[in-house]
Amino acid sequence: MNRRLFIQAGVITPVLLVAPFLGAARAQEQGDSGKKGPKRRQKIVIQVSDNDPVKWNLALNNAKNLQDDVGAANVDIEVVAYGPGIGMLKLESPVASRVADAMKAKVKVIACENTMRGQNLTRDDMQSAISYVPAGVTEIMTKQSDGWAYLRP
């Protein structure tokens, strides 16, 4: 550490100079080594469990805004639907075209098979190109434990 003496009104006081170390500490906290290079890839899982086009549009807007802000190449986005939210992944849902556009933009949209069984839905009832997991809640929990950010609009 760098110490200097500070003289004020005849009193000598040791002063610890920490300013040069603050930037390094912040960079270390943020994972920035000070080198130019690719940014750390961001990852977010978005839960949609409401059968509500407004909630779905909000979730899809969040995904698009995130891609626009940090760059689509810098973020992995998964939208996980379960419970009543699964209804918006059906072929004729009011947000079907928005969901399709999101998937074209590399947003992964996932349906919970537990919910599908409970609602007597098959893959033929659902939009094409969506993905499936055995349990939506487990998918969200696993992503969070793997360091993914979580959002529920």
| Residue 91, domain CATH | 3.40.1260.10
Task: Clarify whether residues 70 and 116 are in a common domain.
Answer: yes
Task: Clarify whether residues 56 and 28 are in a common domain.
Answer: no
Q: Is 86 exposed, middle or buried (0-12, 13-18, 19+ CB in 10 A)?
A: buried
Residues of the domain holding 16: 1-37
pLDDT tens across 92-102, in order? 999 999 999 99
DSSP conformation class of 39: P
List the structure tokens of 56: 């779905």
Task: Clarify whether residues 105 and 30 are in a common domain.
Answer: no
Task: Clarify whether residues 108 and 79 are in a common domain.
Answer: yes
Task: Clarify whether residues 145 and 124 are in a common domain.
Answer: yes
- Within 1-153, where are the H helices? 19-29, 53-70, 96-104, 113-118, 136-145
pLDDT of residue 38: 58
Task: Clarify whether residues 113 and 84 are in a common domain.
Answer: yes
Other beta carbons within 10 angstroms of residue 109's beta carbon come to 25
Among 18, 35, 16, CA closest to 27: 35
Alpha-carbon Rg for the chain, nearest whole angstrom, is: 24
Task: Clarify whether residues 1 and 51 are in a common domain.
Answer: no
Task: Clarify whether residues 84 and 20 are in a common domain.
Answer: no
pLDDT of residue 40: 81
Task: Tell me how far the alpha carbon of residue 141 is from its chain's centroid.
Answer: 13
For residues 100 and 129, is the Cβ–Cβ distance under 8 A?
A: yes
26 backbone dihedrals φ, ψ, rounded to 5°: -65, -40
Residue 75 pLDDT greater than 50, yes or no: yes
- Helix (H) or strand (E) holding 84, with range, is none
**Per-residue pLDDT averaged across 4-12, rounded?**
48
pLDDT tens across 21-69, in order? 334 444 444 444 444 455 689 999 999 999 999 999 999 999 999 999 9
**Per-residue pLDDT averaged across 110-119, rounded?**
98
The mean pLDDT value of the chain amounts to: 84
Total number of domains constituting the chain = 2
